[in-house]
Amino acid sequence: MARPAIEMEALTKQYGETTAVSNLTTTVAEGSVYGFLGPNGAGKTTTMRMLATLTRPTSGTARVAGQSITDRESVTPHIGYLPEDPPIYDELTGREQLRYVAGLRELPEAASNERIEAMLERFDLREDANKWIGDYSKGMRQKVGVIQAVLHDPAVAFLDEPTSGLDPRAARTMRNTIAELSDRDMTIFLSTHILPVVDELADTIGVLHDGELVAEGDPETLKSRAEAGEHASLEDAFLAVTQNREAETEPPAQSSQ
């Protein structure tokens, strides 16, 4: 059995009286793709920010690549993080941005430059690599964000909506890249609203609703929870799980008497 790359135990984040993530407990196997689903506001981004050491949990514990998330210096060399809005500089060119990130990571110059050029070619950015990022489209900016997130070949990559803004060809390249990274034993923690992407790539899927993990399993196991028969889609399963949860938590109707 693969070793755990991510371990969460009762992980909780509160903002005042609002609980964004509640008692999240699960394990993600090394080298796997974990699809993280949930409606808007479910707590997905908050969870990823905690695991990436950008937000401290209110309570509970978590380990990423064997390191406690309370020890940021020990965790960050082993992770890559793509937020929904990638941290890139409009006044740099695409190639300058990636070389800047390689310098921050203290990567060997020759090897990192070779990897940068290969990734620029893979994502059809080579012809635009010397243009200002300020002139890039959303999809081009997303490509740069993904490249810089995995440039240092991290043990774990947290990807928040990695196909956002991409055309179908680029989205396919992204899916192929995620699959190849996983094949090389990189663990991918993937949050997206594009359910076919998760269905295609994920080994395990977790569904978050109102900050709580309400379902977890491989794609076929989750599909079996839908009421659409043997041809149920992941969308059917997602809707069934979240709607059932909403019904369970909905307060009883008040009598008019």
| Residue 244 confidence (pLDDT) | 65
Sign of CA dihedral 145, 146, 147, 148: positive
For residue 185, which of 156, 149, 225, 148 has the smallest C-alpha distance?
Answer: 156
Cα gap 166→142, rounded to integer Å = 8
| Residue 128 confidence (pLDDT) | 97
Report yes or no on 145 lying in a domain. yes
Cβ–Cβ under 8 Å, residues 209 and 228? no
Report yes or no on 253 lying in a domain. no
Instruction: Please write the tens of the pLDDT for every residue from 202-224.
Output: 999 999 999 999 999 999 989 88
Report yes or no on 256 lying in a domain. no
Report yes or no on 254 lying in a domain. no
Side chain identity at residue 111, one-letter code: A
Range of the domain at 173: 4-248
| Residue 35 confidence (pLDDT) | 97
Q: Mean pLDDT throughout 175-199?
A: 93
Cβ–Cβ under 8 Å, residues 36 and 208? yes
Report yes or no on 112 lying in a domain. yes
The chain-wide mean pLDDT, for the chain, equals 91
**Assessment of whether the complete model's pTM goes beyond 0.85:** yes
Cβ–Cβ under 8 Å, residues 96 and 87? no
Report yes or no on 30 lying in a domain. yes
Report yes or no on 257 lying in a domain. no
| Residue 257 confidence (pLDDT) | 42
3 pLDDT higher than 50: yes
183 pLDDT higher than 50: yes
- Residue 59 is part of a domain; what is its CATH number? 3.40.50.300
At 251, the pLDDT band (50, 70, 90 cuts) reads low
31 pLDDT higher than 80: yes
Number of domains in the chain: 1
Side chain identity at residue 72, one-letter code: R
256 pLDDT higher than 60: no
Output phi, psi for 116, to 5 deg: -60, -45
Instruction: Please write the tens of the pLDDT for every residue from 140-179.
Output: 999 999 999 999 999 999 999 999 889 999 999 999 999 9
DSSP string covering 128-162: GTTSBGGG--HHHHHHHHHHHHHTT--SEEEEEST
Report yes or no on 255 lying in a domain. no
Weakest-pLDDT range from 23-32, 110-119, 232-241 = 232-241
Q: Mean pLDDT throughout 178-202?
A: 93
